[in-house]
Amino acid sequence: MKAVKIAPLVTAAVLLVSVPAEAHVSVHPNTVPAGAFATLDVRVPGEQAGAHVTKVDLLLPPGFTEVDYENVPGWSVRTVERKLAKPIEDDGEKIESEIAQLVWSWTGPLGRVDDGEFVQFPLSVAIPDEDAGKALEFRTVQTYSNGEAVHWIDPSLDAEHPSPRINVTAKGGVVADVAGQEAGPTAGQGGATASSTTSGGAGQGSSEGAAAGAVTSSGGASKGLATAALIVGALGLLIGLIAVARTRRRSGV
């Protein structure tokens, strides 16, 4: 069985927009339940002045036996398989290999990613059931037209070039893109994060973590809006009092 299926050609254009300085190669959404079928966007920024991205080499964690990839204009893709130590059965079919690597190469002229722009490579995958509570790393090597290669492979979140990763929560949870720090914890710790499922949390950790972040964010915004409204109201009252005083002076009251 061939483990890769090629997704049909799509008309969506490559996303080429401005990005903040020092952006990272990242995967979105970054919080996905085990066993879920999800579309993961591999987001690759351009960060070299006078050079553009020519190749993106992505190493997948173990367990991805089938990956559909989108046909991104201006880019070709090549897949590399790895043989399973023990074949598995899926819908009556014997699977002997999994997808180990995807390599995107820029063919031009469309899809060029210069400094301050980014491109997304969508992947349709099934998250392995056994990865609940883990952070999965998608180690990536990014090559530029000037020959420089940036290795996004460091397991530390505080590193200059951390590996892209997602949090895998308990089966039955929600897919979420939690803002702020990139997904974690550091790979190898094996524990769940605040946005992942904690012990006894059966599928609720992801939604609760995302909701908590939303409440904090919206709460701060609400306070700011309320303060602004009070200031505007006070200014309006002051202007009204000044207008009344001027009118009374003119009329001799």
Lowest mean pLDDT among 83-87, 148-152, 172-176, 211-215: 211-215
Tens-digit pLDDT profile for residues 41-81: 999 999 999 999 999 999 999 999 999 999 999 999 999 99
- Residue in 194, 132, 142, 133 with CA at minimum distance from that of residue 163: 142
**How many Cβ atoms are within 10 Å of 148's Cβ, its own excluded?**
10
75, 107 contact by CB (below 8 A): yes
d(CA 117, CA 115): 6
Q: What are φ and ψ of residue 21, in 5° steps? A: -65, 150
Residue 229 has pLDDT above 80, yes or no: no
140, 59 contact by CB (below 8 A): yes
pLDDT at 46: 97
| Band of pLDDT at residue 248, cut at 50, 70 and 90 | low
Give CA 253 to chain center in angstroms: 67
Percent of the chain past pLDDT 70, that is, above it, reads 62
Greater confidence (85 vs 138) lies with 138
Tens-digit pLDDT profile for residues 55-64: 999 999 999 9
Total residues found in the chain within this entry = 253
- Taking the model in full, what pTM does it have? 0.66
Give the chain's mean pLDDT: 75
Residues 6+ apart with CB under 8 A from 75: 14, 104, 105, 106, 107, 111, 119, 121
